[in-house]
Structure 1
Amino acid sequence: MKFALSSLSTAMIAVMLMGLSVPTFANTENGTQKGDKQSNGLNLSTLTDPITHKKVENSYPLEVSSFLSLEQAQDILLQVSPKLAANQAAIAASNYQTDALKTIDNPFVFAQVSANAYTLQEDIDLSTLKNGVINGVNNVGAGVGDVVGDIIPPTPNLPNFGELIGERLPDSYDFKRSGTRASVGVGVVWPVYTAGRTTTLTGLSEARTQETVADGILDKNELYNTLIERYFKAQLAIIAAYLRDDAYDTLQQTDHMAKRLFEEGFISRVDRLEAQSALANANSEAVNANNDARLAMIALQRLLRTDYRIKPTTPLFVSSRPLPDVNYFQDLALHHHPGLQKVAAKRAQAQQLHALSDTGHKPTVMLYGYGQLEEKPSWVAGVSASWKLWGGLDKTAALASSSAKIRQADLSEIEVSDNLLLLVEKNWHDVNNAQSRYQALQSNVDLSAEVLRLRRLGLQEGVNTTVEVVQSQTQYLKARTEQAQAANSYVQALAALMQSCGTPLAFNAYLNAADIRLPALYKE
């Protein structure tokens, strides 16, 4: 083909990882799962993504051939897809959140250290206190004088003791103190009974992790289906370009023959011009088909994040054997589809919220203690229990809300199951229809090939015209192209069926068991 590259090329692309303890899928030899980056001896660094040219941290180079089978492309997709890497990071974050909540009811031990400096300064008014003292002393002195006067005659010119004392008391006092103080203490708080709130919170986080995992599986299955779509669309485009090139070569021969026959006077000038026009059209269509093939290969290249075109080596295929009964695939969907796993995770979250709402008026019991580490240490310890008597969220409304969410999840499971069963049946019929169409088109291919052979012989003998040869060539090209399209329809329908069952990799088993394989330009 005109666009084919003659040599095998390899390049290094960035494999995206999530973190120190998140397992990677990278293995440049066989694509199998391996342990974390410390255990598998990889030298992680920052590399440049070949598509966006952005820096990607925690990555390592991966050698990828430009000739890839479907299974090889699937292994590489797991390693280079940023969407899958982002999903793995989300799952890791959710798992870490669950681990963090598991220790929420453990004893909480804390240390407290304080150091401070202080200055206290105040002008204290003593006038009121002073007057009170003077009056008090005078009152006491008067009382004593009356009692003594009854016994002993009064003595003139005795001093006023209240005034004497008042003279010695100031009207105000300037108070000023400064210094430093340091203290060290250790305390502990232990929630010994939380009415199951901590367990419920942990269960809620685990249910959210399950939902994140289900979303990740949905994305991975969709990526598998996208890969198959682009991989075999590229293969179909390559076949179409090859057929157009082949038709162009055949029409070149027809044009050369028409030229000779015209020069020898066996055909008219009109026949000669029609041969030239058909050749020009064939050339234009061949160029367009080659461009379409390049575009399809670039789409595959973008998905696998290489800076060169990927050339598929797995051919289009069709199996002549009938599929198992539709009930078999419907059972697979009900047991394996991640959409149902997501609904189950939603229901588990609603159940945990219901349990949490039910603890609204139950007590929380805590042990506590605190001690200061000084020359003369002091400490305090005790137990406390608290109840919510009124206020906050309405427990009845909260329980009703969580019950409604549980019912919503149950009804959603029924709806999702119904839609899955219908989708599986639709895809199952699409596979069977594509299989029947491919087999029916085989007779058209055989018939058009024989007609073309006879028309070309007739042109040499002067029995047929160039127009008839061109028409026969067009019919043959159309029959082979339609059959290749039917094979691609079979492949795409089979991939959709496997995705709707939640088992996208089961596609590979049907691929390996297929008994009809179309020619492939590129070989492993």
Structure 2
Amino acid sequence: MQRHRPALRSSLLWLPALLGFGAAALAQAPAPPSADTLALSFDAARARMLDRSDKLAAARAAVDAKELQRQGLQGLGGPTVSISGLAYAYNANLNLDLDPLNQKLGQAGAMLPPSLQGFVSRLPIPQLPNSYTLNRHDTGANASVSAVWPLYLGGATDAVRGFVSAQTREAQADAEQAGHEVDTLLVQRYFSAQLAQRAALLRAQAERTIAQHDAAAQKMLAAGVISRVERLQAGAAYEEARRNARKAEDDAALAAVALARTVRAEGSVAPQTPLFILSTPVEPLGYFIDSALVRHPGLGKVAAKKSQAEQLHEGEEALRRPQVIAFGTRELKSGNADWVAGVGVRWSLYDSVDRNALSAASLKQIEQAERTDAQARSDIALLVERNWRALENARRQYLEMKVSVELAQEVLRLRTSGLREGTSTTLDLIDAETNQAKVLTERAQAANDYVQALAQLLESAGLSDSFSDYIARADVKVN
């Protein structure tokens, strides 16, 4: 290449703007959102999602259903008063056989004294019909009021109310968990869309730069200052840059669709809150573990399950105890109305169901819930520690990549100067351009890893709603 340097210098005089294009293009700001694009900050996107999320609406509906059920059973075990009425009509027929009576009448004279038998025999004795049908029909109405009041049911009603209340708390824990999950999902899609957009921009800018280098290489080949192999290498680099740009564009489009669906937007969404980093560590690990053991919805659900098991056990025990009820009923009519009132007692002395086995089963369910709670606390503490360490690793990785970015920029500067001086080739400059885009994308990815790890940490600690506070505290913005 030494003998080509003068020719190379002269052939590149027509490229005064090209050689410094790469670094300037990579620092170019993205275009402003179009008219049909919804520009949203993270807080605005979160408010929109919380208002329109079907998952949250379903969770709230489940809580409302259980709460209404709990309210509906608050009076369980109280008096029940009912009124009943009836109207009736009837027709009754009774067939009477009169043959035996006729026979008795015919034999009645033989039972008289002899002096009267002759007299009676001269009297005509009428004959009754062989049968006779009696008919009775009538209509009527009746109304009464009745009351039943369970005085003592062995605690069964309290167990039912307690069980439904525990189900309500379980639904509330599920709703809280759903809230944390949609917050984390929003963080994932919001900042991933921003990262994908940034990567697509860097890849597109690299493609445009390398395209101009490829065109320059073609002219240099025609001028005889580079070999055909170098020309093919430049063309292959351009084709790779095109493929990378198309893939990054597709990834950005898919990420934008996912974000728009998450916030229920009709068009596209332009994230306005940049990726961020807290250059100093967040709160210590113990802070997040303590918060998780108090606020994690999973522990609330396990506690609700344990309460349900306890109430089932109480219900089983209540069936062993006597039941006492008061009752009364009275006809609704003026005058001398019929009525009845009293107290009833019921106590099962023998039951075909094995109550001892059922009671033991409910105690095992309580033990299961206690064991589950202990395991959940251990698992949640481990999850929090894993997420906390992932956050710290992402923070350190981002800060340490500053040297890589500076190196890539310096290499690009040297390759640009070297191409002017004839000490570098076009392929060297293309490699430097590609490497800078790659390093910038990787550092943005490290920032996204930090944001996603922060969201995971806050979810595991039950602090997802404080994500915006960390945005406000961030001292590094990846614009």
| TMscore range, shorter length | 0.7 to 0.9
CA contact (8 A) 2:210 2:238 kept: yes
| Separation (CA, whole Å) in 2 of partners of 1:297 and 1:130 | 108
Range that drifts further, 361-370 or 234-243: 361-370
1:343-374 deviations in Å (ceiling 9; x for gaps): 10011111111111111132222222212223
Residue 335 of structure 1 corresponds to 294
Residue 86 of structure 2 corresponds to 114
**1:426 and 2:453 correspond:** no
1:193-251 deviations in Å (ceiling 9; x for gaps): 22222122111100011111111111221111111111111111011011112212322
Range that drifts further, 377-386 or 78-87: 377-386
Residue 226 of structure 1 corresponds to 185
* SS of match in other structure, 1:157: helix
1:157 alignment partner, one of 118, 125, 129: 118
Alpha-carbon distance change, 357 to 253 in structure 1, aligned in 2, over 3 angstroms? same
Alpha-carbon distance change, 517 to 130 in structure 1, aligned in 2, over 3 angstroms? farther
* SS of match in other structure, 1:119: strand
1:331 maps to amino acid: D
CA contact (8 A) 1:251 1:282 kept: yes
Alpha-carbon distance change, 491 to 130 in structure 1, aligned in 2, over 3 angstroms? farther
Alpha-carbon distance change, 200 to 455 in structure 1, aligned in 2, over 3 angstroms? same
Matches within 5 A, 1:114-513: 114-128=86-100, 141=111, 145=113, 154=115, 157-159=118-120, 167-259=126-218, 261-262=220-221, 265-376=224-335, 377-391=337-351, 393-513=353-473
| Separation (CA, whole Å) in 2 of partners of 1:338 and 1:394 | 36
1:400 maps to amino acid: A
| Separation (CA, whole Å) in 1 of partners of 2:472 and 2:379 | 30
Alpha-carbon distance change, 347 to 267 in structure 1, aligned in 2, over 3 angstroms? same
1:159 maps to amino acid: V
Range that drifts further, 334-343 or 497-506: 497-506
* SS of match in other structure, 2:118: coil
1:343 maps to amino acid: V
CA contact (8 A) 1:438 1:486 kept: yes
Q: CA deviation at 1:258?
A: 3.7
2:195 maps to amino acid: L
Residue 40 of structure 2 corresponds to 68
Structure 2: gaps (5+ residues): 1-27
Residue 8 of structure 2 corresponds to none
Report the number of matched residues: 451
After superposition, the CA RMSD in angstroms is: 2.6
1:101 alignment partner, one of 63, 70, 73: 73
Q: CA deviation at 1:169?
A: 4.0
* SS of match in other structure, 1:310: strand
1:429-477 deviations in Å (ceiling 9; x for gaps): 1111111111121101100111111101211222210111111112212
Structure 1: gaps (5+ residues): 11-65, 520-524
Residue 83 of structure 1 corresponds to 55
| Separation (CA, whole Å) in 1 of partners of 2:379 and 2:262 | 29
Output the TM-score relative to the length of structure 1: 0.80
* SS of match in other structure, 2:150: strand
Residue 7 of structure 1 corresponds to 34
* SS of match in other structure, 2:268: coil
